[in-house]
Amino acid sequence: MANKGGYTRLKRQMAPNFWKIERKQSRFVLKVHPGPHSKSTAYPLGVVLRDILKVSSTMREAKKIVTAKKIKVDGRVCSDINYGIGLMDVLEFVPTGEAYRFVAKDSDVLTAVGISGNEKSSKIVKIKNKVMVKGGRVQYGFHDGKTIITNEQMNVGDSCIISLPEFKVLSHIKFEKGCSALVTKGENAGVIGNVEGIRDGVFSLPKRALLSHADRSMELPVEIVIAVGSELPAIKV
């Protein structure tokens, strides 16, 4: 009989390069389920608990934590051990209130940064697309797969600070000259700089942003840059 449920694991050697796991410890590792983030840009929740935060020593222990509804992702209880944890997601332990935001840092695509207080109830999302819907309103699609319909006028590439778990726009960050931006991929992942200018794309080159950081400037595709504040980061990243 055919397997119609799909595979829940993959070979360790095929896991994304940024995953901090032992490649030869065993043959298989959890696979990211289809969801808000692509499998190449996210960690499965079980791997986060066992290998990144190290709150469990085995995947069985991690599964018990998840099925006991002790984990919240973006303010909502998550019971899927294969759920993808990606850029800017907020993970919280319900019993203790301890929380982490996953951001690019020190050349790593995803690093858990401890947060507390009001930081747990907000996150930054990047606008990836927008479409007009019935009533003359605009639907915006964000980098984490979520969407929102609003009358507020924003552009693709801009960012929003949203409330969790209500998912309401608290403020709008324009992706423009002078804003603060975070590099999310590549050897400069985790660098926070100020946008000096934005160059339109041409046939052979994508749209690029000129970032200044410390004593150097970088020209990077806008796809790997996310606005995080008007002048300084609006939240902890």
Residue 205 has a pLDDT of 86
73 φ/ψ angles, rounded to the nearest 5 degrees: -120, 120
Boundary (domain end) residue, out of 173, 188, 209: 173
What's the Cα-to-Cα distance from 205 to each of 37, 114, 184, 222, rounded to whole Å?
25, 37, 19, 11
Residue 2 has a pLDDT of 53
Residue 194, SS3 per DSSP: strand
pTM: 0.91
Residue 87 has a pLDDT of 96
Note whether residue 48 is domain-resident: yes
Note whether residue 9 is domain-resident: yes
Note whether residue 100 is domain-resident: no
Clarify whether residues 207 and 151 are in a common domain: no
Query: How is 117-173 classified by DSSP, letter by letter?
Result: GGGGGEEEEEEEEEEE-TTS-EEEEETTS-EEEES----TT-EEEEETTT--EEEEE
Clarify whether residues 17 and 77 are in a common domain: yes
- List per-residue pLDDT tens for the chain, 237 residues long: 455 556 677 788 888 888 888 887 778 888 999 888 988 899 999 999 999 999 999 999 999 999 999 999 999 999 999 999 999 999 999 999 999 999 999 989 999 999 988 899 999 999 999 999 988 889 999 999 999 998 889 999 999 999 999 999 999 999 999 999 999 998 999 999 999 999 988 888 889 999 998 888 999 999 999 999 988 899 988
Show the tokens assigned to 222. 């806008």
Note whether residue 92 is domain-resident: no
Note whether residue 115 is domain-resident: no
Angular region, 107: left φ>0, alpha ψ -120 to 50, beta rest: left
The residues, ordered by sequence, that sit 6+ positions from 163 with a Cβ below 8 Å of its Cβ are 121, 122, 170
Q: Degrees (nearest 5) of the Cα angle 79, 102, 83?
A: 25
Show the tokens assigned to 57. 């020593």
What's the Cα-to-Cα distance from 74 to each of 39, 85, 86, 119, 167, rounded to whole Å?
18, 10, 11, 11, 9
Residue 3 has a pLDDT of 55
Question: Given CA atoms 130, 199, 185, 213 in this order, what sign does their dihedral have?
Answer: negative
Domain that residue 139 falls in: 120-173
Residue 231 has a pLDDT of 84
Residue 51, SS3 per DSSP: helix
Boundary (domain end) residue, out of 152, 173, 194: 173
Angular region, 214: left φ>0, alpha ψ -120 to 50, beta rest: left
In the chain, the number of structural domains is 3
